[in-house]
Each structure stands twice: as C-alpha cells, then as structure tokens.
Homo-oligomer: A and B are copies of this chain.
C-alpha cells in the first residue's frame, strides 16, 4: 500500500480539490468521510475509486482487494477532509448517481442551505421516498456538508438534476404524477383531495418559497396549518411533516 506523506503530492492535491464543486466536476468524483459513509458507499451502487486511510487507523470492515487503498500521514489525511476531527477513513467515489425513479418523489426548488438539503434527503429516505429531483439553484448534493447531513441516505435514494425543474415536473404530470407544491398561500394540507399513488412533493427556497414556474405546473398547492403566531416553518421540518403524512 502506498503511503503519502506530502501535502503537495498530486493525488493529495486532487482529493483536496474535491471539496469544491469545480474540482468535483473536473474530476467527476466526490469524497465521503467517516466509517459509516465509507462502509455504506462500498455496498452501494456508487463506484468507489479509492479508499483513504489515516496512518494507524484500522477499519472494522473489509475493504475489497479490488479497491485501491492509500495510507496518508495524519496531517495529509486531515488536509483532504472537510471535518475538523475526521475519523480516519474516507473514500473517493464516482460522481454518477442512480436516477430518481419510483412513485414517491421529492423535488427541491432552490433549497440552498446544505444542512437543510442533507436533512431533507435523510428524512425522505426514512419516510420511504424513492428519489429526489434537484433544481439547478439547490445546494450541491456532493458538497461535504450536504453529504454529512444525509447520514448515508445518499446511498439509498435516486437523484436527478434536470436543467429545468418545471419541465421535469411537466413530464411527470403527463406520466400521471400529482405535483404537490408546498407554499404558504396554498390550500389546507390535511384537507387535500386524493393525490393517487404517484406523486412528487416540491419544497421551495428557504426565503422565497416555490418559484412561479413550478407553482404553474402543480396539481395541488398545499400549506400546513400555522397556528400560534408562527409565519412559517423551517424548510426541512415542513418537508418532514408532509413526507411522513403522505406515506403514513
């Protein structure tokens, strides 16, 4: 196994640049950190290009011989990780994700906070959703903070990145899907009319909500009740409440 001790090693430099979207697109790769993420990556549909180990770290699972493994001195390992206190293992994966498919879909229309995006994906997985569509304005799925917040759910859902979310939703509508827009001026969520068994729930931007183009495509415009004096809910919380009710 190759041991890397220099911060200027070309491989180390290339892994470090995976923290930025530019680097990920150039290399068509992304990096996941931590025992759980690497273990799940290895049994997922993603292609694992390399596993990186901090010198002295022994994983409690077997890394297949077919996967190239590198040992990194501690300061070198730290330099490629985004977390402040990395666990000692990371993996470089091919950027290609499984396409969003199935009858229970979620769409993110400009959700920009990485923590929200990751938490929503984690919740979608737990609620039994099949896939997530991203509008181009969303936080990048493959950024370190989003990946971390998914808690591994990135490996279990499908993802699509249409150039135009309204066009993608229009196609789904033609295919028989209900398109549910979550918006503050919508109709009462709990009194919604039948949505059928195939649907896509759209969650909007934290500040501006759903875009007009998406609202125009929607078959249902829905809002959770706001009692007390609260004006809105956190995007990830609202998404969670709706997703769980739709699949209960």
Contacts and interface: CB of A to CB of B under 8 A. Distances in A.
Interface stretch (A22-30, A84-92, A149-157, A171-179): A149-157
A123 B229 contact: no
B228 A156 contact: yes
Interface stretch (A71-79, A194-202, A234-242): A234-242
A229 B125 contact: yes
A238 B244 CA distance: 10
A153 B229 contact: yes
Q: So how many copies of this chain end up in the complex?
A: 2
Given A126-B230, A228-B128, A244 B247 contact: no
Contacts of A233: 122-123, 126, 240
A247 B227 contact: yes
Given A228-B128, A231-B151, A247-B227, A123 B156 contact: no
A226 interface: yes
Contacts of A135: none
Contacts of A217: none
Interface in A88-138: 119, 122-129
A167 interface: no
A234 B148 CA distance: 12
B119 A229 contact: no
A90 to B, nearest CB: 21
A124 to B, nearest CB: 8
A229 B122 contact: no
Given A234-B119, A237-B119, A126 B226 contact: yes
A47 to B, nearest CB: 19
Given A190-B248, A224-B244, A153 B123 contact: no
Contacts of A236: 234, 236-237
A245 interface: yes
A151 B226 CA distance: 14
Nearest to A228: B125
A127 to B, nearest CB: 6
Contacts of A40: 229
State the 5 A-B residue pairs at the shortest beta-carbon distance, nearest first: A128-B227, A125-B228, A126-B230, A237-B240, A125-B230
10 contacts: A119-B234, A122-B234, A126-B225, A126-B226, A126-B228, A126-B232, A153-B228, A153-B230, A241-B244, A245-B245
